[in-house]
Amino acid sequence: MKGVEDGADRALPVDMTIPPEQIERESQQLDAVWRGKPGLWGWLTNVDHKTLGKRYLVTAFLMFIAGGIEAALMRAQLARPENSLIGPDRYNQLFTVHGTTMMFLFAVPIMTAMGVYFVPLMIGARSVAFPRLNAFGYWNYVVAVVFLYVSLFANTGPDTGWFAYVPLSGPQYSPGHRVDVWAQVVTFTEISALTAAVNIIVTSFKMRAPGMSLNRIPIFVWAQIVVAFMILFAMPAVATASTLMLATDRAVSMHWFNPAEGGDALLWQHIFWFFGHPEVYIIFLPAMGMVTPIVETFCRRRVFGYTAIVMANITTAFFAFGLWVHHMFATPIPELGQSLFTAASMIIAIPTGIQIFCWLVTMWSSRPSLRVPMLFILGFLFTFVNGGITGVMLASVAFDKQAHDTFFVVAHLHYVLLGGGVMPLFGAFYFWFPKITGRSLGETLGKWHFWLFVIGVNVTFFPMHILGLEGMPRRVYTYLAVTGWGRLNLIATIGAVTIATSVLLFVINAIKSLRSSTVAEANPWQASGLEWSVASPPPSYNFLNAPVVESRHPLWDTSLDLPVLTGFRTDRREVLVTTTFAAHPDARHAAPSDSIWPLYLALCMAVVFIGSIFSPYFVLGGLGLALIGMAGWGWTESVPQGRERVATPAVIPERT
């Protein structure tokens, strides 16, 4: 290979620039092979990571609104004592579907969405490693969304809480199909998350731009990698608990959780929280990954402590798997175990603190430009630190036993998730919206959105700390006036209205911007990442040629010209494969064409898992149908595409 065989770390020879007419010609050729087909069929068969990323984003944001409406209904019910707006049964469904939606159908998928859309663009790749798998994951997610909400409107919404504790969720205490819906919704979301995780890991490890060695990977991508690994180990736990245990206990009379036959209710809690606690970090770490590029861009300086931040991410991921028992302090856990998990729960604050200090140092003495993305980061720092501190409080067994199952926990988790997850996410929306859509969000409406959101979150959830300390249990549909909780609940409800107003302003802002004729530049914020080197929105093939990276901040450090590698075929979809550590160019792989089979197979999964609620025969039927899909998928992927260069361990012959 010419020019790069010595590795991209060395100075690259300036050979020539590419003539504009060649750029024009190759752009058209590549667009012809990468662009999805028009029409409904093209829409259903599209496997482009940007298209799917956008669909994930829109679907997940709709779920945020749906979950928000459920929250608003609950707040309306709790606004005053002995309210009769919503009855207990509907209320049970509402808080269960709210939690399930926000955790499984909003928070994880929207972080996945950001990864699926931006990881290839940030590492200089044309695609994710497995585009069809990506589409398969998305369609599974859509099945989960449709299934949950159709069930809710059919009065079959799950009603045992988002963590579906047994024995309440078991066959004896929850007859009917409400819990089955929950178990299978979880199954679909796990399939979706796992496929995305594999995609992000392989894409980040094997498709980075030449020269992007491990120590040059953007921190956002590092966060996505770490989280993808967490998903590999966390999601199988909940899939095991819900699909292989709870669903089988309910459908075919297994006894995993039936103490009368040697089963164990605590087993559910162990396995669920072995997933459930890392889940918090699966939501939170990608958001932390969004903070760094925003802070860098608006402070006009490189982040302090790149290595420390990356190591903090990895350390957090490890610790996250060692704290699940702090959700179970109210169960008979041995004292030594309690002490260990208390210590672990406190220790995890350290790597998080390291990241926060790194951002503070970066901001220190800089003059941050207080545009909306940066405002949301400041809101995040304030709100999240408060949530983090109550987390450390809850790590103490004595305190936890007092606060267990009260509104104090509700306050804590919403401070962490809204402060640590949603605020950076909104900042990221404002930051990357121009890249995704080619339009910029309005600054004035954005500031209104920011202030109302931050105030709303604090007004809603701060009173809940006090309510919890006063003993108000979570998941009650009403309370007596004599408790004296009415005033604080009313304040919380006013806060919820404020949040709803702020989100409405964001939606109006987005619609207004999309209709605007002002087109965003390629790099409107003068940011440093590779994603800003391509047009807004990016072309179908992302990068005309493979960019070569010489530093962590390619657009800040490469003064005039951007080095690229040429020589790709333009008659088929082709991606560059690089080595895992140093990212040396290693191969050109053909990327698969658009396909209907991912959608077809996701529908087969729907037959299998939804059908399993009613009869095992659906499982057999669905698997039979899936055979056709697997054959179709394989058949359409194994098509000769002209002359290939083969690298076996020994020789590189040419074959067709």
Partner 1 sequence: MKVPRIAGDVAELPTVTFGHRSLMWWGTLGFMVIEGWTTALLVAAYLYLRQNYETWPPLRTPYPSLLIPSINLAILLFSIIPAKMTERCAKQLDEDGVKRWLVIMSAVTIPTVVIRWWELWALNTRWDSTAYGSAAWTVVGFHTSLLLLDVIDTVGLTLFYHVKRMPVKSFSDTADNSFYWYFTVGIWIPVYLVVYVGPRVF
Query: Interface mask (CB under 8 A) for partner 1, residues 564-583, using x and -?
Result: xxxxx-----x-xx--x---
**Of 309 and 591, which CB lies nearer to partner 1 in the complex structure?**
591
* Between 12 and 610, CB nearer to partner 1: 12
CA 165 to chain centre: 25
* Least spacing, CB of residue 468 vs partner 1, in Å: 32
Residues from 422 through 451 that contact partner 1 (CB under 8 A): none
Instruction: Build a one-symbol-per-residue string for 60-99: x at contacts with partner 1 by CB under 8 A, - elsewhere.
Output: ----------------------------------------
Whole-angstrom Cα distance, residue 182 to residue 147? 9
CB of 634 to partner 1, least distance (A): 6
Out of 40, 336, 398, 560, the only residue in the binding site for partner 1 (CB under 8 A) is 560
Binding segment (CB under 8 A) for partner 1, from list 11-19, 285-293, 304-312, 375-383: 11-19
Handedness of CA 159, 164, 170, 176 (dihedral sign): positive
The DSSP code sequence of 234-261 is HHHHHHIIIIIIIHHHHHS---TT-GGG
Rounded (5°) CA angle 240-317-268: 25
Min. distance of Cβ 647 from partner 1 in angstroms? 4
Is residue 300 within the footprint of partner 1 (CB under 8 A)? Answer: no
Q: Is 248 in the site for partner 1 (CB under 8 A)?
A: yes
Binding to partner 1 (CB under 8 A) within 497-526 occurs at 522
Per CB under 8 A, the list member of 33, 62, 72, 232 interacting with partner 1 is: 232
Q: Which of 305, 632 has the CB closer to partner 1?
A: 632
Using alpha carbons, select from 281, 268, 477, 298 the residue that is nearest to residue 370. 298
Q: In the set 302, 586, 611, 618, which binds partner 1 (CB under 8 A)?
A: 586
Closest CA relative to residue 220, chosen from 164, 163, 290, 310: 290
Question: What is the distance between the alpha carbons of residues 202 and 87, in angstroms, rounded to a whole number?
Answer: 48
Q: Report if residue 215 touches partner 1, rule: CB under 8 A.
A: no
Answer for the pair 314, 364: CB distance below 8 angstroms, yes or no.
no
Asked whether position 627 contacts partner 1 by CB under 8 A, the answer is yes
**45 with 594: CB under 8 angstroms?**
yes
Strand pairing of 574-578 and 585-590? antiparallel
**Tokens at 172, concatenated:** 């004896």
489 binds partner 1 (CB under 8 A): no
Cis-peptide, bond into residue 210, ω within 30° of zero: no
Member of 61, 106, 139, 256 binding partner 1 (CB under 8 A): 256
Give least dist CB 609 to partner 1, A. 13
Token pair 């898992």 is found at 609
Cβ closest to partner 1, residue 340 vs residue 630: 630
Q: How far apart are CA 139 and CA 567, in angstroms?
A: 35
Neighbours of 397 (CB within 10 A): 18
Instruction: Considering only residues 108 through 137, tell me which ones interact with partner 1, judged by CB under 8 A.
Output: 129-130, 133
Does position 615 interact with partner 1 (CB under 8 A)? The reply is: no
Residue 271 interacts with partner 1 (CB under 8 A)? Answer: yes
Alpha carbons 484 and 108: distance in angstroms, whole number:
37
CA distance 122 to 435: 12
Among 35, 90, 270, 301, binds partner 1 (CB under 8 A): 270
Query: Using CB under 8 A, which residues numbered 528 to 557 contact partner 1?
Result: 533, 544-546, 548, 555
Range 140-199, binding partner 1 (CB under 8 A) = 194, 197-198
Q: Could you say whether residue 207 binds partner 1 (CB under 8 A)? A: yes
Question: Which residues in 588-607 contact partner 1 (CB under 8 A)?
Answer: 588-590
Indicate whether 396 belongs to the interface with partner 1 (CB under 8 A): no
What's the min distance (Å) between Cβ of 233 and partner 1?
A: 6
Nearer to partner 1, 159 or 594 (CB): 594
Q: Judged by CB under 8 A, does residue 263 bind partner 1?
A: yes
Scanning the structure block, which residue is given the tokens 């603190």? 353
* DSSP annotation of 590: E
Binding of partner 1 by 16 (CB under 8 A) = yes
Binding footprint of partner 1, residue count (CB under 8 A): 97
**How is residue 204 annotated by DSSP?**
H
Among 1, 150, 350, 480, binds partner 1 (CB under 8 A): 1
Q: b/e string for 105-119 if b means 16 or more Cβ within 10 A? A: bbbbbbbbbbbbbbb
Distance, CA of 69 to CA of 59 (rounded, Å): 15
Selected from 39, 262, 332, 334, the binder of partner 1 by CB under 8 A is 262
Pick the binder of partner 1 from 21, 40, 153, 252 (CB under 8 A).
Answer: 252
Peptide bond into 167 cis (omega under 30): yes
Asked whether position 52 contacts partner 1 by CB under 8 A, the answer is: no
Q: Does 138 bind partner 1 (CB under 8 A)?
A: no
The owner of tokens 């590795």 is: 7
The DSSP bridge partners found for residue 578 are: 585
Q: Does 334 bind partner 1 (CB under 8 A)?
A: no
Q: What span, in angstroms and rounded, lies between the C-alpha atoms of 300 and 373?
A: 14
Contact in structure between 591 and 129 (CB atoms under 8 Å):
no
- Judged by beta carbon, residue 18 or residue 32, the one nearer partner 1 is 18
CA dist list (Å): 519 to 372, 385, 438, 637: 19, 37, 6, 38
DSSP classification of residue 406 = B
Quote the least distance from Cβ 239 to partner 1, whole Å: 7
282 neighbors 231 (Cβ within 8 angstroms): yes
Residue 346, interface with partner 1 (CB under 8 A)? no
Judged by beta carbon, residue 240 or residue 366, the one nearer partner 1 is 240
Query: Does 14 participate in binding partner 1 (rule CB under 8 A)?
Result: yes
Q: Does the protein bind partner 1 through residue 652 (CB under 8 A)? A: yes
